[in-house]
């Protein structure tokens, strides 16, 4: 299964609506980097509103994706992390440091604009 | 129970009563009941005695409703459990001594002794259980009340909320704080949360750890925490313990925190003409 990546002007939008398994996550990582390369996008918003569970591996992949995208010159914002997911991540000791976050897609886009503009 | 014992009780009722009342008067101070009027104390003792006696005649091996009701009433008035247990123990001592005076055959005395012991111990046990239950009830009610007061999240402006924390923070409460914080952020769509620790008496490594975790979690859901209300002594402990709070902003008062929160959401308060 592949996760659709939408292009909106110079941004890429991804809403993850299924529980990620390891394979899908890695596939997603490849797809996203490919897409950034092809489109030259400057910003990426990954929306996790409908994700109920994130394990340590998925968290690592997400952190990697953010760092890789940054290397390729695209800023990434994670949005809509659910309270339960946040608590799990903190309990697992995964702080996702240096990863910008926002409450929802709208604020995520605002944040991207702000970061790219500034 | 043995008919003989009951007969003996009825015959010596007045004597048992008098001696018991004397005993109860002598232990009054032990139960911090000096401030209760003499008459009230005496009336209660009489009632207590009558209940025990009535109980005896009914020949039951457990405390009946009458006794538990009586006990409950006393607990509510703030009397101590020890008054009841000591009352029963005194009662036992007195009837045993009366028994020794009247009965000469030692085997019979032993049988009766056994009988009385078996009769009175379950009653005492039941009273203790009852009282323990009473306390557990109170504790659990207070726990719920404490939980309700524990961690309120108050939306103050659009996108700015305040969580005032008062009192000691333990692990259980920290968990509640984290949950309320996160659900509140989503519910009120807050971007900045001010955590006010003015009322937290001690900030040790554990409390700091919980607060750091909570603010990290808040950052993950997409808002930011500012820790406010750091008193001088708290600042000293934090530094002396080597706790690193460098990663998120702190302010000395809620007022200053609110100012920087407004700055972060690109707003300011201006006076009207």
Q: What is the CA radius of gyration of chain A?
A: 13
CATH number at residue B256: 3.30.750.24
Boundary-marking domain end, from B147, B176, B193: B147
The residue-averaged pLDDT of B1-9 equals: 70
The answer on B89 and B36 residing in a single domain is: yes
**pLDDT tens figures, A55-81:** 889 988 988 999 999 999 899 999 999
User: Is the CB of A43 inside 8 Å of chain B's CB atoms?
Assistant: no
Q: Which pLDDT does position B1 carry in this prediction?
A: 58
Under an 8 A CB cutoff, do B222 and A82 touch?
A: no
Position A1 in a domain: no
The DSSP string of A18-71 is S---HHHHHHHHHHHHHHHHHH--SEEEEE-TT-----HHHHHHHHHHHHHHHH
The answer on B53 and B104 residing in a single domain is: yes
* Residue B106 clears pLDDT 70, i.e. is over it: yes
Q: DSSP secondary-structure letter at B49?
A: H
Pairing of strands B224-228, B192-199: parallel
* Residue B220 clears pLDDT 80, i.e. is over it: yes
Helix (H) or strand (E) holding B186: helix B171-188
**pLDDT tens figures, B123-138:** 888 888 888 888 899 8
Position B233 in a domain: yes
Q: How confident is the model at residue B205 (pLDDT cuts 50, 70, 90)?
A: confident
Position B16 in a domain: yes
Are the beta carbons of A28 and A3 closer than 8 angstroms? Answer: yes
The answer on B168 and B109 residing in a single domain is: no
Domain with B200, as residue range(s), is 154-264
Instruction: Spell out the long-range contacts of B20-29 with Cβ–Cβ below 8 A and sequence spacing 24 or more.
Output: B20/B45, B20/B49, B20/B87, B20/B90, B20/B91, B20/B94, B21/B45, B21/B46, B21/B49, B23/B90, B23/B93, B23/B94, B24/B87, B24/B90, B27/B83, B27/B86, B27/B90
* Residue B199 clears pLDDT 80, i.e. is over it: yes
Distance, CA of A75 to CA of B88 (rounded, Å): 79
Domain with A55, as residue range(s), is 6-117
The residue-averaged pLDDT of A27-48 equals: 93
Under an 8 A CB cutoff, do B182 and A87 touch?
A: yes
Distances (CA, A) of A62 to A20, A48, A59, A72, A92: 11, 11, 5, 15, 15
Residue linked to tokens 């990434």: A76
The answer on B143 and B11 residing in a single domain is: yes
The answer on B133 and B162 residing in a single domain is: no
User: Is the CB of A107 inside 8 Å of chain B's CB atoms?
Assistant: yes
Q: DSSP secondary-structure letter at B79?
A: -
The answer on B226 and B129 residing in a single domain is: no
* Residue A21 clears pLDDT 80, i.e. is over it: yes
Q: How confident is the model at residue A94 (pLDDT cuts 50, 70, 90)?
A: confident
CATH number at residue A78: 3.30.750.24
Q: How confident is the model at residue B223 (pLDDT cuts 50, 70, 90)?
A: very high
Q: Which pLDDT does position B63 carry in this prediction?
A: 57
* Among the partner residues B182, B213, B220, nearest to A96 by beta-carbon distance: B220
Stronger pLDDT, A35 or B143, i.e. the higher one: A35
Distances (CA, A) of B52 to A68, B5, B10, B130: 82, 14, 13, 17
The answer on B180 and B51 residing in a single domain is: no
* Residue B62 clears pLDDT 70, i.e. is over it: no
Q: Which pLDDT does position B32 carry in this prediction?
A: 67
The answer on B133 and B72 residing in a single domain is: yes
The answer on B160 and B64 residing in a single domain is: no
Average pLDDT score, chain A: 90
Q: Which pLDDT does position B61 carry in this prediction?
A: 59
Chain A CB contacts of B222 below 8 Å: 78-81, 101-104, 107-108
Q: Which pLDDT does position A118 carry in this prediction?
A: 65
Q: Which pLDDT does position B226 carry in this prediction?
A: 93
Number of domains present in the structure of chain A: 1
* Residue B80 clears pLDDT 70, i.e. is over it: yes
Under an 8 A CB cutoff, do A103 and B223 touch?
A: yes
Number of domains present in the structure of chain B: 2
* Residue A15 clears pLDDT 90, i.e. is over it: yes
Provide, rounded to the nearest whole percent, the portion of chain B with pLDDT above 70. Answer: 95
Distances (CA, A) of B28 to B31, B70, B83: 6, 18, 8
Q: Is B63 helix (H, G, I), strand (E, B) or coil?
A: coil
Q: Which pLDDT does position B55 carry in this prediction?
A: 74
* Among the partner residues B190, B213, B223, nearest to A90 by beta-carbon distance: B213
The residue-averaged pLDDT of B223-251 equals: 87
Stronger pLDDT, B36 or B205, i.e. the higher one: B205
The answer on B167 and B119 residing in a single domain is: no
Under an 8 A CB cutoff, do B222 and A95 touch?
A: no
The residue-averaged pLDDT of B146-155 equals: 83
The answer on B91 and B61 residing in a single domain is: yes
Chain A CB contacts of B216 below 8 Å: 90, 95
The answer on B166 and B141 residing in a single domain is: no
Boundary-marking domain end, from B122, B147, B172: B147
Under an 8 A CB cutoff, do A87 and B179 touch?
A: yes
User: Is the CB of A89 inside 8 Å of chain B's CB atoms?
Assistant: yes
Selection from B148, B229, B227, B222 nearest residue B185 by Cα: B222
Q: Which residues contact A45 (CB under 8 A, 6 or more apart)?
A: A11, A12, A13, A14, A76, A77, A79, A105, A108, A109, A112
């Amino acid at each position: 299964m592949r996760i659709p990546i939408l292009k909106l002007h110079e941004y890429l939008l991804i809403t993850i609506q299924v529980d990620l398994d390891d394979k899908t996550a890695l596939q997603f990582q490849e797809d996203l980097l490919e897409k950034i390369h092809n489109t030259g996008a400057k910003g990426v918003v990954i929306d996790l509103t409908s994700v109920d569970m994130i394990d340590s591996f998925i968290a690592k992949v997400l952190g990697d994706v953010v760092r890789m995208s940054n290397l390729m010159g695209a800023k990434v914002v994670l949005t809509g992390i659910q309270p339960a997911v946040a608590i799990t991540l903190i309990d697992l000791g995964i702080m996702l440091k240096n990863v910008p976050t926002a409450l929802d897609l709208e604020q995520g886009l605002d944040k991207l604009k702000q970061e790219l503009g500034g | 129970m043995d008919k003989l014992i009951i007969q003996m009780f009825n015959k010596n009722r007045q004597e048992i009563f008098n001696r018991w009342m004397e005993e109860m008067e002598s232990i009054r101070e032990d139960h911090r009941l000096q401030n209760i009027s003499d008459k009230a104390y005496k009336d209660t003792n009489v009632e207590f005695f009558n209940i025990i006696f009535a109980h005896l005649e009914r020949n039951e091996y457990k405390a009946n409703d009458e006794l538990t009701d009586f006990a409950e009433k006393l607990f509510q008035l703030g009397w101590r459990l020890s008054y009841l247990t000591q009352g029963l123990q005194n009662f036992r001592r007195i009837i045993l001594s009366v028994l020794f005076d009247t009965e000469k055959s030692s085997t019979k005395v032993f049988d009766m002794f056994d009988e009385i012991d078996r009769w009175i111990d379950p009653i005492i046990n039941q009273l203790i259980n009852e009282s323990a239950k009473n306390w557990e009830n109170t504790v659990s009610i207070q726990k719920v009340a404490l939980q309700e007061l524990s961690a309120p999240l108050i939306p103050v402006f659009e996108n700015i909320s305040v969580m005032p924390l008062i009192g000691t923070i333990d692990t259980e409460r920290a968990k509640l704080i984290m949950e309320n914080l996160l659900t509140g952020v989503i519910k009120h769509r807050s971007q900045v949360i001010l955590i006010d620790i003015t009322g937290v008496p001690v900030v040790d490594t554990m409390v700091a750890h919980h607060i750091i975790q909570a603010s990290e979690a808040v950052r993950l859901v997409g808002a930011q925490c500012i820790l406010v209300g750091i008193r001088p002594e708290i600042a000293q402990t934090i530094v002396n313990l080597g706790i690193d709070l460098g990663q998120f902003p702190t302010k000395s008062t809620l007022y200053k925190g609110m100012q920087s929160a407004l700055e972060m959401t690109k707003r300011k308060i201006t006076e009207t003409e």
